[in-house]
Amino acid sequence: MKVTQLSVFAENKPGHILAPCRLLAEAGVDIRALSLADTQRFGILRFIASDWQAASKLLEEAGFLVRATEVLAVEVPDHPGGLAHVLSAFEGSDINIEYMYAFPFAREERAVLVFSFDNPDAAMERLRAAGIAVVERDELFAGIVSR
């Protein structure tokens, strides 16, 4: 399914990633998955939080630039070839991956891949056709809740 991801703009300077992370930590927001895209000039902190609306509000009120976007979370076996299997679903299509990141799932031996596609609906169709599981939002946070 589509999962809401938050992105925060950060200058590429020491300490600029810490501030938003600390803010979320102090408010008790769980971050399930996180990636930092950086260039020489700036960085984009992307993450999936337990309560994205609350996290977004919190960050915006603190003056951060936040953007909510939909991404696809895909579950794969955490062993060699797992990623290649998923990517092969898009072979021969003109669907473009804008970016992706991976994190280990709460369940054992599984990993979750987070994708941003230029055409998410077409991508979802392809995944379904290939029999690849798209992770539901609740599942994503199941591990945390049970802890």
Partner 1 sequence: MLAQTEDCTTPATPAVQPAFQPASAPDYVPRPLLEELQFHRLRAVVERAWQRVPLIRARMDERGIVPDDIRSLGDIARLPFTDKTDLRDTYPFGLFASPMRDIVRLHASSGTTGKPIVVAYTGADLNVWSSVMERAFAVCGLHESDIIQNAYGYGLFTGGLGAHYGAERLGATVIPISGGNTDRQIMVMRDFGVTAVCCTPSYFLHLLDRAGELGVDLRGLPLRAGVFGAEPWTAAMRARIEKMAGIRAFDIYGLSEIIGPGVAIECECQNGLHIFEDHFYPEIVDPETGAPLPEGCEGELVLTTLNKQAMPMIRYRTRDITALMPGPCPCGRTLRRMRRISRRCDDMLIIRGINVFPSQVESVLLEMEGTLPHYRIILTREHGLDQMEVQVEVTARMFSDRVGALETLHDELADAMERVLQLRTRITLVEPRTIPRSEGKSQRVTDRRSS
> What residues make contact with partner 1 under the rule CB under 8 A?
5, 7, 9-11, 16, 37, 39, 41-42, 44, 46, 63-65, 67, 69, 98-99, 116
Place of tokens 């008790």: 28
By beta-carbon proximity to partner 1, the closer residue of 63 and 80 is 63
Least Å from the CB of residue 38 to partner 1: 8
Least Å from the CB of residue 136 to partner 1: 22
φ, ψ (nearest 5 deg) of residue 65 = -95, 115
By beta-carbon proximity to partner 1, the closer residue of 7 and 135 is 7
Place of tokens 């798209």: 134
What strand order describes the sheet that includes 42-49? 31-38, 42-49, 2-11, 66-77, 110-117, 97-104
Q: Which of 127, 125, 132 minimizes the C-alpha distance to 111?
A: 132
By beta-carbon proximity to partner 1, the closer residue of 41 and 147 is 41
